[in-house]
Structure 1
């Protein structure tokens, strides 16, 4: 049975997760030029990796980064390629390896998603004192470590 803190924390985590997801869905729906799902926009984000340059990611690297099985990533990449958001290129050194690159349209969609997150974080930050920001970051870092550690344990990593 959960104590009062655990109950409240569970409620907050669930609501925050769902709220961010709903806000992302609204952002995608309001953008008339983007015919993407949330999962697809997150895959574009993983392809770019915050680099904003002309380097690609292999299908297996995307699978690892996103925690999604190879066949699912391959299917998603093929769908994004058909929509014009990514292009696939075989590695010159090993033709079995496929790299995924954002197209101009893919970079535009990724930048729109990053802008959404920047605005969201700026709005949250503006309402906090320096002390609250520090406490929030410390708590979020511990929360992130908790999830990372538990996911690694479930995957069989020490």
Structure 2
């Protein structure tokens, strides 16, 4: 293996571990210490936009609807998510962030904004395109592999 390979591998592992550690640490110190990392990602997948169904959120998270239901039940009890029946078809239930859920979502998005801004700092357009291409390739590999 080349030195370049070893450096890139070490950086990817370091970045992944650092992001998880920082997110966990910040959660524990915040007003949102009652949610887990998995619940945080669930809130992120529900998002602020159009209310999604459980099937849509489960697909985004690459988990089963049954697994998602457990997380949603907990988030409803904790006051982060509401289930809302469709006005046009009462069989359809959509997931919606509560005020507390939206507050958390915005705070978490702020962390991501700072992280991406720091990663792109000092890069020219060509370097940004190369980073974007590399990350897309990595994501594609991970989706295919798992």
TM-score (normalizing by structure 2): 0.85
Q: Distance in 2 between matches of 1:73 and 1:89?
A: 16
Q: Distance in 2 between matches of 1:84 and 1:126?
A: 37
Match in the other structure for 2:135: 140
Match in the other structure for 1:24: 23
Deviates more, 1:68-77 or 1:84-93: 84-93
TM-score (normalizing by structure 1): 0.79
Secondary structure of 2:139's match?
helix
Shift in CA distance, 6/24, structure 1 to aligned 2, threshold 3 Å: same
1:82-97 equivalences in 2 (<5 Å): 82-92=77-87, 93-95=89-91, 97=92
State the shift of 1:6 in Å: 4.1
Shift in CA distance, 33/66, structure 1 to aligned 2, threshold 3 Å: closer
Count residues in correspondence.
Answer: 144
Q: Distance in 2 between matches of 1:37 and 1:8?
A: 31
Pair 1:124-2:123 in alignment:
no
1:147-158 equivalences in 2 (<5 Å): 147-148=142-143, 150-151=144-145
1:2-151 equivalences in 2 (<5 Å): 3-4=1-2, 5-48=4-47, 52-53=48-49, 55-92=50-87, 93-95=89-91, 97-148=92-143, 150-151=144-145
Unaligned runs of 5+ in 1: none
Q: CA RMSD for the aligned pairs?
A: 2.1
